[in-house]
Amino acid sequence: MVETLSIAVIGAPGVGKTSIIRQFIYNDFSEVYTPTRTRYVYRPSVILNGNMYELKVLDVPPISSFPSSSSQEWLDLRCRGVRNANAYILVYDICCVESFEYVKMIRQQIVENREGSSSEVPILVVGNKRDLQRQRFMPRRAVSVLVKKTWKCGYVECSAKFNWHVVLLFKELLGIAVARGMRQNHTSIRLQGALQRNRCTIM
């Protein structure tokens, strides 16, 4: 039996969402910026602490706000599956304050728009482009304290370019999700045959 967890990756354009996902799944990075125009779903398998999980990673194209209702989500193809994700990765660029403001807005909207206990969904804030840290707009410690203490979210910095802390951030998020028992959307799948080696990460 394998558990499926859907993870929506959201952030301002150009912060490195697609790069993080592709580095995690394919060990691949491109300097060339190709804006993501449509929603894309990746389905890697991972093993964490001896348990296997099927991840459904949604690479969400730029959205002006978190969908406030199921009908809005249904009408806008870009946000399909975003409201009911089991966990969120909110990415910003540590050198771009506007991208942090965007993450701040989306985090607030997730909490307001998801009802009841589902507003306690695991959220991991990710500061990407750590390799450019000389140009960062705020010290790491200050952001980390704000995100962890005030927003009650996880916080990780990474560099998709150098594959630094990319596996760690997925591990961190999955760890929080599993600990909170966020399993409402899970589907049970009987494991048959071998996994595709290049799509299974042991964390």
Site string for ligand GDP, 50-89 (x = CB under 6 A): ----------------------------------------
d(CA 119, CA 48): 25
With CB cut-offs between 5 and 8 Å by kind, which of ligand GDP, Mg ion, none does residue 19 bind? ligand GDP
Q: Would you state the structure tokens that stand for residue 145, as one six-digit string?
A: 């304290």
- Residue 85 or 182 having the CB closest to ligand GDP: 85
Do residues 137 and 103 make contact, with C-beta atoms less than 8 angstroms apart? Answer: no
Strands in the chain per DSSP E: 3-11, 40-42, 45-48, 51-59, 87-93, 123-128, 154-157, 200-202
Among the listed residues 95, 119, 90, the one whose alpha carbon sits nearest the alpha carbon of residue 105: 90
With CB cut-offs between 5 and 8 Å by kind, which of Mg ion, ligand GDP, none does residue 128 bind? ligand GDP
Q: Would you state the structure tokens that stand for residue 43, as one six-digit string?
A: 């389905």
- Residue 30 or 65 having the CB closest to ligand GDP: 30
Q: Would you state the structure tokens that stand for residue 58, as one six-digit string?
A: 């949604």
Q: Would you state the structure tokens that stand for residue 131, as one six-digit string?
A: 């390799």
- Residue 18 or 201 having the CB closest to Mg ion: 18
Q: Would you state the structure tokens that stand for residue 103, as one six-digit string?
A: 């993450």
Site for ligand GDP in 145-164 (CB under 6 A): 159-161
- Residue 42 or 53 having the CB closest to Mg ion: 42
Amino acid type, 148: K
- Of the candidates 2, 4, 29, 36, which one interacts with Mg ion according to CB under 5 A? 36
To Mg ion, the closest distance from the beta carbon of 63 in angstroms equals: 12
Do residues 65 and 15 make contact, with C-beta atoms less than 8 angstroms apart? Answer: no
- Residues of this chain that interact with ligand GDP (CB under 6 A) are 11, 13-19, 30-31, 33, 35-36, 128-129, 131-132, 159-161
- Residues of this chain that interact with Mg ion (CB under 5 A) are 17-18, 36
